[in-house]
Amino acid sequence: MCGIVAYKGHRNCHSILLNGLKRLEYRGYDSAGLACLRNDGQLSITKRRGKVKELEEALTDKNCDGIGIAHTRWATHGRPNQVNAHPHADQSRKIVLVHNGIIENYLPIKKFLISKKIKFKSETDTEVLVQLIGYFYNQGKMDFEKAVRAALQRVDGAYGIVIMNTDYPDMMIAARKGSPLALGIKDNEFFIASDISPIIKHTQQILYLKDSEMAVINGNKYTIKSVLKDITMPKNIEQIDYKIDDYDKGKFKYFMHKEIHEQVDTIANTVKGRVKSDAVLLHGLSEYWDEIESADKIYITACGTSWHAGLIGKLLIEKFSNTPVFVEYASEFRYNHTLVDNKTVVIAISQSGETADTLAAIKKANDYGAVTVGICNVPGSSVGRETDCGVYTRCGHEVGVASTKAFTAQIGILYFLALKLASAKGEISKTSLKRHLDYSDAMKKVKTVFRQEKLIEKIAKKYKKATDFLYLGRGMNFPVALEGALKLKEISYIHAEGYPAAEMKHGPIALVDKNMPSVFIVPKDKTYEKIISNIQEIKSRKGKIIIVTDSKNKVLKELANDLIIVPRTNHYLFVVLATIVLQLLAYHIAVSKKLNVDQPRNLAKSVTVE
């Protein structure tokens, strides 16, 4: 799971590749590397453990014009160290490759290559692939393109690769199966990357490689070929009118903090132009609206935080429109027996639009004839392209690995989708719909949550040494509890579990003692009294109680060790306000532990392997 960027043209490679890698660091940041063909024809490979900055400092050899490949890694096979970093070369050190994906049958191939006296340097599956290409090229006496094709036909799993060969100084080959690769074309220059973010500032002429296609760039020309046989494929070039802003932390120390604060505007941006006082528009769905409206059932599929949004979406859609909704992790959906057919709508939610499992789930849904709907934050991303229709969350680039503003934007879209469905099916009265659509007052309340930040920071410092947390909520606030726990785990490395508040007594209550904080999410709704009993159950076992509520009252004050009160609002929006509180709590705990909240250990912003 990694980021690839490659360049073939006449300019110096280093700055193009390094800037590209910085854009792709969201895909992994445990090591990075770059290979280019020096002007004297020699191969130059530089790799470093750690972030792209480390690689940048190590790159002293500036003598590289014309052709180079680079990579930022999130380790799958082999530890995150310099040896295992990409690019990897074959034994002859003529062929060098960067790879995104997993070669699943690497062990038998490795065994075969070892029997042919090939020596390995790294623990990676990627080195097995480049050595196999090298084997066909050197020992099988195949030409470069044939050797690549022969090797790719023998590997199982997923790959997006770019390869160079010192015997072919004017040639670069890229191929994909499962892992996306885009080719940018500009006069006599070519840019290849895992997504368009490193390419788009150079050219808007983009060709997305399809599965089992390879791009063979030779001199100033390129052809698209099949990996399966030596035939030429059509060139489907798209003009992508999309600008990518530069990242900027503004007055904040971390992107995550900035992104939490941006929610004052992003939630409103998501909705702008999509909602009238008496109707929900969502133009992105128009072409397929008849099928969506008449669907028998809906599946929502996603991973991580986006999956939590899906759980909230289920409750909203079922409540308002009486349409049955199933929510499945994309990694499960792709293999489970699912009841998907052409009367099913499958909604895929993804901030990045590049999550491998979510893309595989979309593919499965498309194959089964379902209408696929994307809810995604990144225009031009794979989710946007692979689904039949969709809605962009429009909350701006999210850089922090822990997703924040994308989550609340996803909830916004799901809320309005639920209302649109309800209205189309006659399940909601005009007056009620109008009341729900008048969200302007509720939006103002988002701002007031930040008045509690000092208090939240104080609470964070108080509990920063806890080793375990419970997050408890009911109804829509159960997914909020899951999300609060995930945020804390991701950035503070404290173990946390989210549970339905009443379910806690069926097991997790055994963990409770005087050191363990439980965060209760307690809106004044129909489950209020029930949840008070759940709090009592923890309290009587000496657990510490942190309460997030919209109700100022004596009972809660007495029960809570710490109380955070958000303004009262439409209770669908309470989930957003409570989420922001939990994001701030996780953030301040992590910061008080002096951790890098934007790039936590072991994680990547986008999980592009299975």
Q: Under the rule (CB under 6 A), what is the footprint of ligand AGP?
A: 303-306, 350-352, 355, 358, 401-403, 490, 606-607
Euclidean distance between CA atoms 91 and 527, whole angstroms: 66
Q: Are 183 and 191 in contact (CB under 8 A)?
A: yes
The question of whether 489 is a catalytic residue gets the answer no
- Residue listed under structure tokens 């290559």: 113
User: Where in 335-429 does DSSP place strands (E)?
Assistant: 344-350, 371-376, 389-392
Give the helix/strand (H/E) hosting 271.
Answer: helix 263-271
The question of whether 605 is a catalytic residue gets the answer yes
Handedness of CA 485, 486, 491, 495 (dihedral sign): positive
Q: Are 361 and 236 in contact (CB under 8 A)?
A: no
Q: Are 398 and 405 in contact (CB under 8 A)?
A: yes
Q: Which residue's CB is nearer to ligand AGP, number 134 or number 484?
A: 484
Q: Which residue's CB is nearer to ligand AGP, number 144 or number 407?
A: 407
Q: Considering the complex, what minimum distance in angstroms separates the CB of residue 306 from ligand AGP?
A: 4
Euclidean distance between CA atoms 224 and 339, whole angstroms: 37
- Residue listed under structure tokens 């050595």: 131
Distant-in-sequence, close-in-space partners of 221: CB < 8 Å, separation ≥ 6: none
The one-letter code for the residue type at 446 is: V
In whole angstroms, how large is the CA radius of gyration of the chain? 26
Phi, psi of 562 (to 5 degrees): -140, 135
Q: Considering the complex, what minimum distance in angstroms separates the CB of residue 228 from ligand AGP?
A: 30
Catalytic position from the list 2, 36, 303, 389: 2
Q: Which residue's CB is nearer to ligand AGP, number 91 or number 393?
A: 393
What does the buried/exposed string (b/e) look like for 503-515 if buried means 16 or more CB atoms within 10 Å of the residue's CB? ebeeebbebbeee
How many C-beta atoms surround the C-beta of residue 141 within 10 A? Answer: 9
Euclidean distance between CA atoms 30 and 3, whole angstroms: 11
Give the helix/strand (H/E) hosting 258.
Answer: helix 255-261
Q: Which residue's CB is nearer to ligand AGP, number 185 or number 460?
A: 460
Q: Which residue's CB is nearer to ligand AGP, number 198 or number 304?
A: 304
Q: Are 284 and 393 in contact (CB under 8 A)?
A: no
Q: Which residue's CB is nearer to ligand AGP, number 68 or number 304?
A: 304
Question: Which position's Cβ is nearest ligand AGP?
Answer: 304
Distant-in-sequence, close-in-space partners of 540: CB < 8 Å, separation ≥ 6: none
Catalytic position from the list 8, 405, 445, 605: 605
- Residue listed under structure tokens 């690839």: 4
Q: Considering the complex, what minimum distance in angstroms separates the CB of residue 490 from ligand AGP?
A: 5
* Three-state SS at 92: coil
Q: Considering the complex, what minimum distance in angstroms separates the CB of residue 547 from ligand AGP?
A: 24
Q: Which residue's CB is nearer to ligand AGP, number 182 or number 375?
A: 375
Q: Considering the complex, what minimum distance in angstroms separates the CB of residue 24 from ligand AGP?
A: 14
∠ Cα 281 285 290 (to 5°): 100
Q: Which residue's CB is nearer to ligand AGP, number 95 or number 607?
A: 607
Q: Which residue's CB is nearer to ligand AGP, number 303 or number 535?
A: 303
Handedness of CA 393, 399, 403, 408 (dihedral sign): negative
Give the helix/strand (H/E) hosting 106.
Answer: helix 106-115
Q: Are 481 and 312 in contact (CB under 8 A)?
A: no
Tokens of 347: 């909604």
Query: Residues with catalytic annotation?
Result: 2, 605
